[in-house]
Structure 1
Amino acid sequence: MSTETPQRRSRFRWIPTRSGRSKVIAGLTALAVPFAAMVGLASPASAATSATATYTKKSDWGSGFEGQWTVKNTGTTALSSWTIEWDYPTGTRVNSAWDATVTNSGTRWTAKNLGWNGSIAPGASVSFGFNGSGPGAPSGCTLNGGACDGSTVPGDNPPSAPGTPTTSDVTNTSVKLSWSAATDDNGVKNYDVLRNGSKIATVTGTTYTNTGLTAGTDYTYAVQARDTIDQLGPVSGSVSVRTTGGDDPPPPGDKINLGYFTNWGVYGRNYHVKNLVTSGSAAKITHINYAFGNVQNGRCTIGDSYADYDKAYTADQSVDGVADTWDQPLRGNFNQLRKLKAKYPHIKVLWSFGGWTWSGGFGQAVQNPAAFAQSCYDLVEDPRWADVFDGIDLDWEYPNACGLTCDNSGPAAIKVMADAMRAKFGPNNLVTAAITADASSGGKIDAADYAGAAQSFDWYNVMTYDFFGAWANKGPTAPHSPLNAYTGIPQAGFNSADAIAKLKAKGVPAKKLLLGIGFYGRGWTGVTQAAPGGTATGAAQGTYEAGIEDYKVLKNTCPATGTIAGTAYAHCGTNWWSYDTPATIGSKMTWAKNQGLGGAFFWEFSGDTTNGELVSAIDSGLK
């Protein structure tokens, strides 16, 4: 049994080919050489004591920088060739270069002259440039195997991180920042002030007042020191602050209304963050789970970098009607979510990791839970998008049980992971999990310590859908999201009421349980019987995958003909579908309130109508 939809299962999706972009350099006449095409590690020539190599950072645009090395012949005879080597810290790299062949072995980088610029006359110099990314500065420079002897790199380390800023004098439109000074072996020149991950100012002191802000808005700040040769040190810790005034955010009420937004929905489904606004859903939800980040090699990793933070949005697609520019620090869904939160400050966004296809990495990750939690925290709190996310959601399918793959981490693994995440993310971030609804005897709920883990999780998204579907291609037909048991149900314990009852009986507080709603139907074809329990010949045709279809399609192509176990079903021609309607959702919300649940969640936004019928039904039902 799976409580997961094929959208989560089918993660192989088309991604448009994108050409790389390098910063345009004024006056550049040499052909830029893509780094991906550079092969072979240059061998240093014989040591030269009558030449120097000097590094300069020409510019920095937040997400990248332009660096330049200059080789000068300080001797009395011509230099026939040159090779510069240097180290970059992990996370800093060369992406493209011109006027040199640049290669690397790990963090050690090598630049060798081209055929036309290797010879340097006495007193002359040659420069080459490159576009890079990351905050680090070069160290350990050698020129033709000897010391660089330049005035900017050897013996000059980048500055330390400044202290985490503190805030004061907060008004409707301004905030004052103060921080403790960074240290450097040759002195600190100035500090870059970062707001929401983007540089907004460079100052020489250790205070800065940011003006022109919006009332009642959340901002995140950090600072970064530069030394006398313009080397950037590491970014400080970040501080979040909310300006005073503004309209008070709409109260979320006593119940949570949470929806999943999928990063792959921006492709074939053409569903974007702006659709939450145009449908009216943004005003009615309380939380968004952004799906998915991956779990690989014991770490949280990016799921789809293009959709997440690189896709450029046109004005008509953008939440605020402003088009992205090619050089802005953050684009994609993350920037659109930032704009959504500015417009609807009551919404909280969590980054969801795992899902059906990407759950296989959790078993390895929980072997070192502290390192796993640290990697997730570092990614969620990356200064480029820290203000976008209010916490993390972990979708492990399933701890100590089988989903797409089988896990044998043991019953305690879910609690170990939850405790490590809470310890790292602290009390001010949300830490949640999507969990199984298999309440059968000895089933998936029994396989893991969900009650123990609930002490660290804020709530569980109980996946009370996908109980039955056309993976049983001959039937019997059955509703995929039954609220309760009914006569003839194919499997005992496969219904919402039993799942919630079992979790409560194990000690999970009712207020930490959210009832799951699917914004789609599951269906069979070759069915002659209108009532549930009929035989079939296979999966009904769907827009994206056989056996599954969005509610927005089914409401028109196969309207409901009956209800069973608190949900709807439809028989049209030889197809049989089950799905929730606004009416059945209303009844389920009444049941959830009577059970004292924390609210409801749904998978996922794009299945709803353009005017948000199902989101509205959840919102109305929870009030």
Structure 2
Amino acid sequence: TAPPTTPPPTTPPPDPGGKKVVGYFAEWGVYGRNYHVKNIHTSGSAAKLTHILYAFGNTTGGRCTIGDSYADYEKAYTAADSVDGVADTWDQPLRGSFNQLRKLKKMYPHLKVIWSFGGWTWSGGFTQAAQNPAAFADSCHRLVEDPRWADVFDGIDVDWEYPNACGLTCDSSGPNAFKNVVSALRTRFGSSALVTAAITADGSNGGKIDATDYAGAAPHLNWIMPMTYDYFGAFNAQGPTAPHSPLYSYAGIPQQGFWSDAAIQKLKSKGIPASKLLLGVGFYGRGWTGVTQTAPGGTATGPAPGTYEQGIEDYKVLKNTCPATSTIAGTAYAKCGSNWWSYDTPSTINGKMTYAKNQGLGGAFFWELSGDTGNGELIGAIKGGLG
């Protein structure tokens, strides 16, 4: 085909005013967590969100692929569990969370939905994708814009953990691979689509931010989400105990550059506009057991028990089972029996949103919706704090 007469702009147009409030919806939440798209509505959160990230699609064979077809578009919803109170029929062309998101967008026309690919478990395929970014981008566009659900999605989000560094798997594609992939996605999706990325928040010298040319990728992205949480946790089973989402450093922090402001300042210093950066918030805590010391820095014997995974618990549970008693570095913690937990509360989130405004950031994002209370108090704190 003939090349377009006008080359597409490399920089997408700025989003219309207001701060972004971006929340992840976990595909698997419809199972044990029993968290459905309807809950975004009943909690009052849909009105406060600007964007929903649907997590995750997979990356296999250098292509974007379906993560869980049953949850995505096959599961039949009863009237009681459906966003609009209308049951799915056996022969309708689209069911599952995709159809529920379509209904949610009808109720809240301001809401945009972005399909997120990768994540901790499914980032291995990005290495192959980086070998042929155009083919990868083409596969992603075909999937996201599939006629069955093209109206549901407003763009694509890349959660590559981590380019030219190690996550669950290690990537050695070089410092330009990420830029090449998102550039190809922008070209294929066009200037009007949303193309975003969640990236490492490792602010240490020579760490994961330094391993990749994120600044070179920034012009192709609407915004960038440094994952400013999970800095510390019971993946180091013996401790030392430390808050998983510190905003600032503090005396005795176990690792240099492992706090939110370090990541934000490093990304800004590389030339990424503050308005393209969103601050990350975790709607969960990380904790240890076998702890005797209340202050951070104590030893532990292993991860504290969690409902779905050891060492992790939702905010909605912790606010009742282990209420925060102290703060450090802009986040909260508590010791309950021999368990030590750190997490963000409405109060600490308010402080983080003040920081985001003072830094000129584009807003905030969080992982993930099901961790909030039934009345959406953490999302309320984000929205109110950015106000």
Q: Does the pair score TM above 0.5? A: yes
Aligned to 2:190: 426
3-state SS of 2:219 partner: coil
What one-letter code is carried by the residue in structure 1 that aligns with 2:273?
A: P
Among candidates 601, 604, 611, match of residue 365 of structure 2: 601
3-state SS of 2:22 partner: strand
What one-letter code is carried by the residue in structure 2 that aligns with 1:573?
A: G
The superposition leaves residues 8-62 of structure 1 with CA deviations (integer Å, 9 ceiling, x where unpaired) of xxxxxxxxxxxxxxxxxxxxxxxxxxxxxxxxxxxxxxxxxxxxxxxxxxxxxxx
Q: Mapping of 1:192-211 within 5 angstroms?
A: none
Q: Mapping of 1:3-402 within 5 angstroms?
A: 253-402=17-166
The superposition leaves residues 256-280 of structure 1 with CA deviations (integer Å, 9 ceiling, x where unpaired) of 0000001100001100000001100
The question of whether the paired residues in 2 share the 8 Å contact of 1:252 and 1:286 is answered with no
Among candidates 540, 552, 577, match of residue 341 of structure 2: 577
The superposition leaves residues 155-189 of structure 1 with CA deviations (integer Å, 9 ceiling, x where unpaired) of xxxxxxxxxxxxxxxxxxxxxxxxxxxxxxxxxxx
The superposition leaves residues 365-415 of structure 1 with CA deviations (integer Å, 9 ceiling, x where unpaired) of 111111100000000000000000000001000000000011000000011
Aligned to 1:509: 273
3-state SS of 1:454 partner: helix
Aligned to 1:618: 382
3-state SS of 1:590 partner: helix
Matches of 2:346 and 2:55, distance apart in 1: 24
Among candidates 229, 250, 260, match of residue 486 of structure 1: 250
Normalized per residue, the structure richer in strand is 1
Matches of 1:470 and 1:399, distance apart in 2: 24
What one-letter code is carried by the residue in structure 2 that aligns with 1:398?
A: Y
What displacement does 1:566 show?
0.0
Matches of 1:388 and 1:441, distance apart in 2: 40
What displacement does 1:252 show?
8.0
Aligned to 1:467: 231
What one-letter code is carried by the residue in structure 1 that aligns with 2:337?
A: G
What displacement does 1:600 show?
0.2
Aligned to 1:524: 288
- 1:477 corresponds to 2:241: yes
What one-letter code is carried by the residue in structure 1 that aligns with 2:213?
A: D
4+ long deviations beyond 6 Å: none
Aligned length: 373
Matches of 1:596 and 1:471, distance apart in 2: 33
Aligned to 2:11: none
What one-letter code is carried by the residue in structure 2 that aligns with 1:620?
A: G
What one-letter code is carried by the residue in structure 2 that aligns with 1:540?
A: A
3-state SS of 1:335 partner: helix
**Structure 1 length as normaliser, TM-score?**
0.60
* Distance change in 2, residues 1:420/1:252 (3 Å): closer
The question of whether the paired residues in 2 share the 8 Å contact of 1:568 and 1:584 is answered with yes
- 1:458 corresponds to 2:225: no
The question of whether the paired residues in 2 share the 8 Å contact of 1:252 and 1:346 is answered with no
**Any gaps of 5 or more consecutive residues in structure 2?**
1-14
What displacement does 1:353 show?
0.3
Matches of 1:346 and 1:433, distance apart in 2: 21
What one-letter code is carried by the residue in structure 1 that aligns with 2:39?
A: N
The superposition leaves residues 436-464 of structure 1 with CA deviations (integer Å, 9 ceiling, x where unpaired) of 00011100000000000001011111100
What displacement does 1:551 show?
0.2
Matches of 2:297 and 2:16, distance apart in 1: 40
What one-letter code is carried by the residue in structure 1 that aligns with 2:170?
A: C
3-state SS of 2:351 partner: helix
Aligned to 1:130: none
Matches of 1:291 and 1:571, distance apart in 2: 32
3-state SS of 1:447 partner: coil
3-state SS of 1:455 partner: helix
**Higher RCO, Cα 8 Å, sep 6+:** 2
Matches of 1:394 and 1:285, distance apart in 2: 20
Normalized per residue, the structure richer in helix is 2
Matches of 1:531 and 1:252, distance apart in 2: 44
The question of whether the paired residues in 2 share the 8 Å contact of 1:400 and 1:410 is answered with yes
Aligned to 1:181: none
Matches of 1:573 and 1:264, distance apart in 2: 31
Matches of 2:155 and 2:164, distance apart in 1: 25
The superposition leaves residues 304-333 of structure 1 with CA deviations (integer Å, 9 ceiling, x where unpaired) of 000000000000000000000000000000
Among candidates 309, 314, 326, match of residue 562 of structure 1: 326
- 1:586 corresponds to 2:350: yes
* Alignment RMSD (CA, Å): 0.9
**Any gaps of 5 or more consecutive residues in structure 1?**
1-250
The question of whether the paired residues in 2 share the 8 Å contact of 1:540 and 1:546 is answered with yes
What displacement does 1:253 show?
5.0
What one-letter code is carried by the residue in structure 1 that aligns with 2:330?
A: G
3-state SS of 1:421 partner: helix
Aligned to 1:442: 206
- 1:412 corresponds to 2:176: yes
3-state SS of 1:522 partner: strand
Q: Mapping of 1:540-551 within 5 angstroms?
A: 540-551=304-315
3-state SS of 2:246 partner: coil
